Amino acid sequence: LTTQEFESLALVKSAFFKYNLSLLSYRNAVIVFTDPEIRIVVGFPPGSENFLSFTLGLTFDDQDFTEHYNSVPLIRYARQEVLEKESCVAFYVRPPRPGAYKLLIYAKHKQGETAIASSDPPESTENLYGAVCEYRLMARVSHNVCLPPFPPCQTGNYGQTEMAKRFNIRAVCREPAVRAIQGTVELRFASTDPNRPLPRLMGQLKCALLSAEALDHCILQRTLSTESALLIFLPEAGEYGLEVYANDPARDGSSYFAVRIQKYFKKHFLHHHHHHHHHHHHHHHHHHHHHLIIIIIIIIIIIIIIIIIIIIIIIIIIIIINLIVIINVITNNINHHHHHHHHHHHHHHHHHHHHHNQSIVIIIIIIIIIIIIIIIIIIIFFFFFFFFFSSLKHKFLAPCLIMSSQIWQYLLTSDRASPVRGLPSLPPAYLGPGPKFSELGLSTVSHSDPFIRADTGELCVHLAFQQNLPLKLMAQLLFATNDASEDCSHMILQQTRMNQVYFLLRFPRTGFFKLQLYALPENDRNDSLPGVYNYLIEASECHRLRGQVMPFPQQFAHWRRGCYLETPTEGILGLEANGRLSSQPPDSLPFSVSIPNAFAVAVVVGDEWTQLDPKGDRWEGSIPMKGHWGIERKLAVCASYAANDVNYSTLLEYSLAL
């Protein structure tokens, strides 16, 4: 190493050696580059990623070490990621314009697990970031290739966060930068301990160029047996940040938010304040203040509102007092006019007036003070209510709730917009099995993933229940694109064979559908069935039969007990392509249906009853239709369950084309 080489080496500090770091990409203090993005890599000893954390500061290399470019913090033009396999940390910088920059890299020992769990971080110097190395960047990029800032995430730190270790979860995709395929990204997270439940996951997309509304309804979260999956449909081509949050319902229950808030304030008010004494060069905590700023703004707005209310009230008081004074003056003048006529009487009257006015003013002031106190109490109560009641917490505070539980951050890039639009917003834990599902002995046979992509206009969803616990099931199909809720349950045919249940679906239009399944034991008297499983289906084709949307026949309660329909499955009989009755409708219709435990089965059109014949486990027959076409509107399949049963129960009802 010559003296000249030594002098041109990057400026490293004592902490660099203390942490046993190494420069893996650029060794010299000055980096001249022409690419729109530069990657600087610092190595650390294998295993150190568990107790070292890094951050960076970026400024212009000018007199003031300016930290902003066009009022955007420069730190937004940088990001970092830890590569565990290679035992290094990579820093990416994209200069917003040509020129000279100063890049500072900081490191610190992470707080131990105990420190994270307790609410008081140990106030030791170990816990502060210390500069480890410094570079001067000379960006010789032409203005027109300069890149926009990275997505506006809470931090510029991509990959796993320190919080991730607290949850029973690990990312299947370890690379923080992911390219979308056809505008779509799927990220999976597996449980580290299969005996513990997976935490609830939630994703938030960030994009510098799109509004928050444009980024709504882009993420589908669902739980598979041992994995949790996020499916992201990117609304435009471009670059996105994805923040992944975890919430452990068992642990982070109702007290979760209050504790986090205290910790957050403690950490950011005391801790960062502490920072500044040690290193005045700290340009790295801009992005941490994101949530803090929001909270401070909310508090300021409330204070301003209270002040405005008080000012308005004071103005009203002044106006009232002025009015009273004016009225006084007028009454005094009138009284003065009558002075000579009623001297004694007037004197008494004047005093009476004076006291009367004073008491009115006092009463008004007291009322106003009471109103102010009530308003302040209402505001304080509202806030306490907001912060500490967990039922409301999930509705209103979902965005705030996630403050401390971010477990991962990805950088997603896409060369096109996803064709998928109108993803409905689903409540957490909506998709997949409900608590009653396994309790009733149900299992999925055809689709264990609660998100289904259907590309033929039809779908068969197959489930099974236990032979020794027969169930009555029912299903609801709802069109759900853009949060519509249009019932399409007439497009479901429920078929049961032994302990197997098939739901045949036909999609009247393309888009998203919710399939909601309900069940109870067969002998349960209750008619309202609880939900047991929810699917979300994306139908890319819609069903047409001879150009028509063909519903299934309507199915009644008795149908749900083990019945199966062979033919006909068309809910409207005799229909032609023009949507009307066929010009040559068939003279008779063949029927074949399986109805367990039935004593007799009949098909009813108008006043005509046709008994079906038992053949094996089926009831079959040919129904004469000649005299009914164009006159009757309905056809029913009915069954009686005992020899002495005079009442027939309707199981199926068809419409007849007119």
Taking CB atoms within 8 Å and a gap of at least 24, the contacts of 65-69 are 65/102, 65/283, 67/283, 67/286, 69/96, 69/97
Handedness of CA 154, 156, 160, 161 (dihedral sign): negative
CB count, 10 Å around CB of 168?
Answer: 17
Asked whether residue 367 is domain-assigned, the answer is: yes
Distance (Å, whole) CA 73 – CA 75 = 5
Long-range contacts of 477-481 (CB under 8 A, 24+ apart): 477/505, 477/513, 477/514, 477/515, 477/516, 478/513, 478/514, 478/516, 479/508, 479/509, 479/511, 479/512, 479/513, 480/424, 480/511, 480/512, 480/513, 480/514, 480/536, 481/421, 481/422, 481/424, 481/511, 481/512
Grouped pLDDT means (10 residues each) for the chain, 658 residues: 74 90 92 95 91 92 90 94 92 96 92 46 62 94 91 91 85 92 94 85 91 90 89 95 86 42 40 35 41 76 85 82 80 67 51 64 78 81 63 43 72 94 89 92 95 95 94 95 94 94 96 96 87 96 87 94 93 88 92 94 94 94 93 95 89 94
Rounded to 10 degrees, the C-alpha dihedral 478/480/484/490 comes to -20
In angstroms, the CA 204 to CA 400 distance is 12
Q: State the residue for tokens 């050696």.
A: 17
Residue 16's contacts (CB-CB under 8 Å, 6 or more residues apart) are 132, 133
Q: What amino acid is encoded at 536 in this protein? A: L
Looking at 397, 417, 447, which one is the last position of a domain?
Answer: 397
Four-point Cα dihedral 370, 372, 377, 383, nearest 10: 170
The answer to whether 160 and 183 have CB atoms below 8 angstroms apart is: no
Contact 613, 621 (CB under 8 A): yes
- 595 within a domain of the structure (yes/no): yes
Asked if residue 622 belongs to a domain, the reply is yes
Domain membership flag for residue 255: no
User: Which tokens hold the place of 349?
Assistant: 């009257």
User: CATH number of the domain that 73 lies in?
Assistant: 2.60.40.10
Q: 375-414 burial, b for 16+ CB within 10 Å, e for fewer?
A: eeeeeeeeeeeeeeeeeebeeebeebbbbbbbbbbbbbeb
**Is the residue at 222 inside a domain?**
no
Tokens of 342: 């009623």
In DSSP notation, 94-116 reads: --SSSEEEEEEEEEEEPPPHHHH
Residue 472 placed within a domain: no
Structural domain that includes position 322? 290-336+355-397
How many structural domains are present in the chain? 3
- Interacting residues of 639 by C-beta distance below 8 A, sequence separation 6+: 558, 595, 598, 599, 600, 601, 602, 648, 649, 651
Using CA atoms, how far apart are residues 178 and 558, in angstroms rounded to an integer?
52
User: How distant, in Å, are the alpha carbons of 182, 572, 573 from that of 580?
Assistant: 42, 10, 10
Residue 94 · residue 138 · CB < 8 Å: no
Residue 397: enclosing H or E segment and its boundaries? none
Examine residue 589 and state whether it is found in any structural domain, yes or no: yes
What ranges make up the beta strands (E) of 468-612? 471-479, 486-487, 492-497, 500-506, 511-521, 531-539, 554-555, 564-567, 572-573, 588-594, 600-605, 608-611
Give SS3 for 375: helix
Amino acid at 213: E
Two tokens at 641? 């369950």
Residue 216 tokens read as: 């709504």
Per-residue model confidence (pLDDT) at position 229? 93
Residue 55 located in a structural domain: yes
Full-model pTM: 0.71
| β pairing state of 157-160 and 78-83 | parallel
DSSP H helices in 435-514: 436-439
What are phi and psi for residue 562, nearest 5 degrees? 80, 15
Q: Which residue has the tokens 């700023």?
A: 293
Q: 10 Å Cβ neighbour count for 352? A: 10
Encoding tokens for residue 305? 């509102």
Compute the radius of gyration of the chain from its Cα atoms.
37
Residue holding tokens 């694109």? 481
Give the closest residue to 95 by CA, choosing from 125, 75, 115: 75
